[in-house]
Amino acid sequence: MNATEQLELKVKPNAGVQLRDGFTGGLGVVLATLGSAVGLGNIWKFPYLTGANGGAAFLIVYLLSTLLVGLPVMISEHMLGREARSEAVHAFLKLSPNKKIPWWLVGASGVLAAFMIMAFYTEVAGWVFAYIFKALGGGIFTTDPAVTEAAFVNLISNPWLSLGIQWVVLAAIGLIILQGVAKGIEKTAKRVMPVLFGLLLIVVVRSLTLDGAAAGLNFLFMPDFSKLTGAAILTAMGLAFFKLSIGMGTMITYGSYYGSEQNIPVNAARVMLGDLLVSLLAGLAIFPAVFAYGVEPDAGPSLLFITIPTVFASMPFGHFFMVVFFLLTSLAAVGAMLSLVEVPVAFLTEKFTWSRKTATLVVVFGLAVTGSLAALSNSVLADVKLLGFTFFDLFDYFSQNVLLPVGGLFIALFVGWVFGWKKVEQALTNRGALKNTRLVRLFFLVTRFVTPVLVLLVLLNGFGVFGK
Ligand code: PHE
């Protein structure tokens, strides 16, 4: 700090802090971060992947990945963001000691990932949103899977409807992002998360009290390791990345909004546990009910839209629970999308010193363009395939299985081998204020040695080294 800066600080003690919007602290920090982690990943992906990969054994591998890969990378990201007080690209530019090595590319790949994920995510969110009204109107209240399938196909193969619901979702998210970090993201998370939790509990109680619910519990909790293929093991790890919003700079950006008194490892552990709880509750809302009515949970991505409505239609008071279910799923998607949009918005405001308004407008329009590729993947663009994937599937596959794990690998390597122990200790003990050195040391060792090796396995799977 030079003399003038010191003088400025004396005059305005909080000058540096007030310039940047940020989370206000306490519960708001946990809820906003949890709001990013919780999303369609918990309620759409987690059940369909667990359902398609044999249940409990998949869940166990998912738990291990969350602990050994997810938590260390999340702590790393929060730390880097707070140390740099920058979004991901600038965080690496500021923190990397050797400017010749382009660490900032990790941040840049995160901006790309945000666009790819948002492209299909807004579309699925749009389906869920539309399903609230379909459920209310009773159109999907039938036990006949042929009818629910026709309803779903009708929706996704209608190009204008697909684009329209995506634009509605984008506009709503854009409006919240415009309000800023504290007044937009944090405030929304504080309102939405408790409601989401309450609604989810209602559906869980319904599902667990059905006759025959036990078979679903067996599926979710009694592991049968014979069903666990090598590919499934690595899919579970990819899901952990997606679930915790890590490997792409979201958590770096959010970390940059943390106060300097925030206990990062404790906060990250809370977020991880909260996210896990929501996934388990989603499993408890779905599997007992699915098994109670003798339906198979292995439909894949359409589980929520074709299978689940028939299950609700079979149960007493099912109409009510179906509406509640799609409502809570829509709510879950909000916080995740806010964090996905925040990544490019924060990048543009920092890079070009644009106003938040300009950056948000540019990002939302950009997302409407790239998003249309995914939105039209089941209609006009159904036959356009790259590497055998439609745009929708390509964005989903490539972000989850390539961009996020590659990002996570480099983040762990950066923290473990470049940033180094001394700085990590300083940052995570809050410069000695917290007496958690042993815990921080454990974190450092895992991040330096264990996480990169495990992540490398995820990557090899992404590239098909272990076969399909
Ligand atoms: N974690 C979110 C979910 O589970 C998705 C997400 C991924 C959000 C990456 C931000 C970044 O739905």
Cβ of residue 279 lying under 6 Å from some atom of ligand 1: no
Give the residue whose CA is nearest to atom 6 of ligand 1: 245
Give the residue whose CA is nearest to atom 9 of ligand 1: 245
32: nearest Cα among 406, 334, 417, 448: 334
Q: In this predicted model, which residue has the larger pLDDT, 20 or 319? A: 319
Best probe residue, ligand 1, of 243, 342, 406 (max atoms within 8 Å of C-beta): 243
**Spatial distance between the Cα atoms of 319 and 139, rounded to a whole number of angstroms:** 11
Cβ of residue 341 lying under 6 Å from some atom of ligand 1: no
Cβ of residue 243 lying under 6 Å from some atom of ligand 1: yes
Give the residue whose CA is nearest to atom 7 of ligand 1: 245
In the predicted model, what is the mean pLDDT of residues 314-319? 95
Please report the pLDDT score of residue 231 as a whole number: 77
**Tokens representing residue 265 in the block:** 């490892």
Summarize pLDDT for 157-167 with one digit per residue, the tens. 999 999 999 99
List Cβ neighbours of 368 (8 Å cut-off, separation of 6 or more): 166, 167, 170
Confidence of residue 435 (pLDDT cuts 50, 70, 90): very high
C-alpha triplet 80, 85, 90: angle, nearest 5°? 75
**How far, in Å, from the CA of 113 to the mean position of ligand 1?**
11
Is residue 376's pLDDT more than 50?
Answer: yes
Summarize pLDDT for 49-95 with one digit per residue, the tens. 999 998 999 999 999 999 999 999 999 999 999 999 999 999 999 99
**How far, in Å, from the CA of 4 to the mean position of ligand 1?**
43
**How far, in Å, from the CA of 104 to the mean position of ligand 1?**
21
Confidence of residue 375 (pLDDT cuts 50, 70, 90): very high
**Tokens representing residue 298 in the block:** 């292995």
Cβ of residue 318 lying under 6 Å from some atom of ligand 1: no
User: How many C-alpha atoms does 138 have within 13 Å on its Cβ side?
Assistant: 1
Question: Which atom of ligand 1 has the smallest separation from the CA of 244?
Answer: 1
Question: Which atom of ligand 1 has the smallest separation from the CA of 37?
Answer: 1
Cβ of residue 250 lying under 6 Å from some atom of ligand 1: yes
Please report the pLDDT score of residue 10 as a whole number: 43
**How far, in Å, from the CA of 224 to the mean position of ligand 1?**
28
Averaged pLDDT score across all residues of the chain = 93
List Cβ neighbours of 385 (8 Å cut-off, separation of 6 or more): none
**How far, in Å, from the CA of 242 to the mean position of ligand 1?**
5
Summarize pLDDT for 174-185 with one digit per residue, the tens. 999 999 999 999
In the predicted model, what is the mean pLDDT of residues 357-380? 98
Is residue 2's pLDDT more than 80?
Answer: no
14-23, 143-152, 352-361: range with lowest mean pLDDT: 14-23
Please give the helix or strand (H or E) that residue 287 lies within, else none: helix 264-292
Please report the pLDDT score of residue 390 as a whole number: 97
Q: Please name each of the domains of the chain with its CATH number.
A: 3-396 (1.10.4160)
Is residue 11's pLDDT more than 90?
Answer: no
**How far, in Å, from the CA of 61 to the mean position of ligand 1?**
19
Summarize pLDDT for 445-457 with one digit per residue, the tens. 999 999 999 999 7
**Spatial distance between the Cα atoms of 223 and 294, rounded to a whole number of angstroms:** 20
